[in-house]
Amino acid sequence: MNFESFSDFLAMGGHGLYVWLSYGVAALIFVANIVLPMKKKKEIVKKHVQRLKREKVA
């Protein structure tokens, strides 16, 4: 461990804002990269199912 205490860890020797801002934005980008295609898949499947139902009725 490179830090004395947890508040030391958060402060990052005065660079806390920069370090945590970078890691925070990076985390958001990672999450978005996973969530967006998964949501898209749900939409695609839903659309397919509806179309197949329509075709059966017709």
Partner 1 sequence: MWTFFHKLGSPKWFYDISGKWLPWFAVVSALLLVLGSIWALAFAPADYQQGNSFRIIYIHVPSAILAQSCFMMMAIAGAIGLIWKMKLADMFVKAAAPVGASFTFMALLTGAVWGKPTWGTWWVWDARLTSMLILLFLYFGIMALQSAIEDAATAAKASAVLALVGMVNIPIIKYSVEWWNTLHQPATFTLTEKPAMPAEMWVPLLVMVIGFYCFFTTVILLRTRNEILERERRTNWVKKLVTKGVAL
Interacting residues with partner 1 (CB under 8 A): 1-3, 9, 12-16, 18-19, 21-23, 25-26, 29-30, 32-34, 37-38, 40-41, 44-45, 48-49, 51-52
**Which helix or strand (DSSP H or E) is residue 48 part of?**
helix 16-57
Whole-angstrom Cα distance, residue 5 to residue 29?
A: 29
Query: Rounded distance, CA 41 to CA 52, Å?
Result: 16
